[in-house]
Amino acid sequence: MIAPATFPSFQHAYAAVLRYVTENYEHVNTARGNDSHEVIGASFRLTDPRQRALYLTSRPVNPVYHYAEALWYLGGLRNLDLIGHYASRRRADSRDGTTIEGSSYGARIFAPRPDGAPSAFDRALELLRAETDSKRAYLPVFEAGDLEEIGHPDLPCLVGLQLLARDGYLHMVTYMRANDANRGMVCDVYSFTLIQEFAAAQLGLRLGSYTHHVGSLHVGVRDLERAGRVLEETVASPKTAPPFAAPVMPINTSWKHIRTVLEHEELLRTNQVQYTPADVAALDLPVYWQRVLLLFEAHRQIVNCPEDLVDRHLLEALEPGARWQFERRWLTRVATGEVA
Ligand code: 5HM
């Protein structure tokens, strides 16, 4: 028995996972038309789950989507309004065109139960407050009923999340039945570690390690070329630390802050408001969450002002790592001549 491979950042883990799967795959899986190279049973651990972002030119990510997805989960939402706005591909997961049934993990973790009982998350936190070193604080997502329909278009890939408080730190363990290493995993690890950080703040604990276990870990055949480019980029500097300090979620982050961010996100998404950094600074929010709202404002400008460059002052007010990612994602819309 050996402990999971441990990495200082997700970027390190991501490169190692891609290398491992592409070089050691055991199966060519063709389930539901998604041809992939697959290993069965794999795990890794992150010592600093705040180092959740990728800064790779071979694998640009969308920081707006990362926060949108994490907030969609925290909001306990099932409908497509928020998530479909930031990634239209998510609409394909919906059967009725308005809701997502399986991968709306937040609805299963954070929303109150249909009978009005507290959410799984609230119960788990209550348990950890009563018995700090419990092994029982598990947040189930996959349910037996999910298997009732063969060919269900959107079955949860997340089985569940476990919170473990040990010696003043909050650790998290994720269990996934399946994970696409080049696609789903990048967003999953981002959202789940952000949820872990939020949970640690609620419990007044320091952020511990993050462990990710996967049943079927795979890389799509259509993504092998891109995975190869990532490996080329990361092999050049395998031990290099991510170029930006990870932002730290304030320990006083509360549900009120999350609700405020979601409220203003909706106003921005529906183009009912437009915010300058000064407008956002006037809101009752820690700077960390103000900067998240500024990302949504930047996205509002991309969607609603297609002829214009994103406001320079706004870009300067973004969290530096998110700005780097945003600029690479929308190069032509931030063409200030200063993008490295
Ligand atoms: O046929 P199946 O339901 O297993 O296909 C789902 C695909 O989406 C798999 O490749 C799975 O690994 C990926 N996926 C993921 O990696 C899906 C979701 C959404 O539940 C996710 N991560 N969060």
Kindly state the tokens that stand for 40: 């069965």
pLDDT digits (tens, 9 = 90+) for 26-81: 999 998 888 999 999 999 999 999 999 999 999 999 999 999 999 999 999 999 99
Q: Which amino acid is at 56?
A: L
Nearest Cα neighbor of 190 from 76, 18, 37, 46 is 46
Q: What's the CA-to-centroid distance between 154 and ligand 1, angstroms?
A: 8
> Is 179 a pocket residue for ligand 1 (Cβ < 6 Å)?
yes
pLDDT at 108 over 70: yes
State the pLDDT at residue 336: 55
pLDDT bin (cut points 50, 70, 90) of residue 280 is: very high
Residue identifier of the C-alpha nearest atom 18 of ligand 1: 157
> Is 215 a pocket residue for ligand 1 (Cβ < 6 Å)?
no
pTM over 0.85: yes
> Is 297 a pocket residue for ligand 1 (Cβ < 6 Å)?
no
CA distance 46 to 209: 6
Q: Residues 9, 242: contact at Cβ < 8 Å?
A: yes
Q: What's the CA-to-centroid distance between 153 and ligand 1, angstroms?
A: 10
Residue from 36, 104, 161, 180 to probe ligand 1 pocket by mutation (most atoms less than 8 Å from CB): 180
- What CATH fold (topology level) applies to the domain 5-236? Thymidylate Synthase; Chain A (3.30.572)
Q: Residues 11, 48: contact at Cβ < 8 Å?
A: no
Contacts of 92 by beta carbon, 8 Å cutoff, 6+ apart: none
Phi, psi angle pair for 173, to nearest 5°: -125, 130
> Is 188 a pocket residue for ligand 1 (Cβ < 6 Å)?
yes
What average pLDDT does this structure show over 87-93? 91
Contacts of 271 by beta carbon, 8 Å cutoff, 6+ apart: 300, 303, 304
Q: What's the CA-to-centroid distance between 177 and ligand 1, angstroms?
A: 9
Kindly state the tokens that stand for 196: 């872990």
pLDDT digits (tens, 9 = 90+) for 128-141: 999 999 999 999 99
> Is 184 a pocket residue for ligand 1 (Cβ < 6 Å)?
yes
Kindly state the tokens that stand for 329: 């994602």
pLDDT bin (cut points 50, 70, 90) of residue 332 is: confident
Contacts of 286 by beta carbon, 8 Å cutoff, 6+ apart: 250, 252, 253, 257
Mean pLDDT of the chain: 95
Q: Residues 52, 193: contact at Cβ < 8 Å?
A: yes
Q: What's the CA-to-centroid distance between 184 and ligand 1, angstroms?
A: 7
Name the more confident of 69 and 332.
69
CA distance 214 to 197: 21
| 141: Cα separation from own chain's centroid | 16
Instruction: Please state the atom number of ligand 1 nearest to the C-alpha of residue 93.
Output: 19
CA distance 300 to 306: 10
State the pLDDT at residue 238: 65
CA distance 301 to 295: 10
State the pLDDT at residue 340: 41
Bridge partners, 161 (sequence order): 139, 174
Q: What's the CA-to-centroid distance between 11 and ligand 1, angstroms?
A: 20
State the pLDDT at residue 153: 85
Instruction: Please state the atom number of ligand 1 nearest to the C-alpha of residue 154.
Output: 3
Phi, psi angle pair for 158, to nearest 5°: -85, 125
Q: What's the CA-to-centroid distance between 330 and ligand 1, angstroms?
A: 26
pLDDT at 189 over 60: yes
Q: What's the CA-to-centroid distance between 157 and ligand 1, angstroms?
A: 5
Q: What's the CA-to-centroid distance between 179 and ligand 1, angstroms?
A: 6
State the pLDDT at residue 152: 86
Kindly state the tokens that stand for 257: 């802050």
State the pLDDT at residue 168: 98
Q: Is 225 exposed, middle or buried (0-12, 13-18, 19+ CB in 10 A)?
A: exposed
Cα separations in angstroms, 250 against 153, 257, 270 = 38, 11, 28
CA distance 206 to 165: 9
pLDDT digits (tens, 9 = 90+) for 195-254: 999 999 999 999 999 999 999 999 999 999 999 999 999 987 766 777 899 999 999 999
Bridge partners, 216 (sequence order): 40, 178
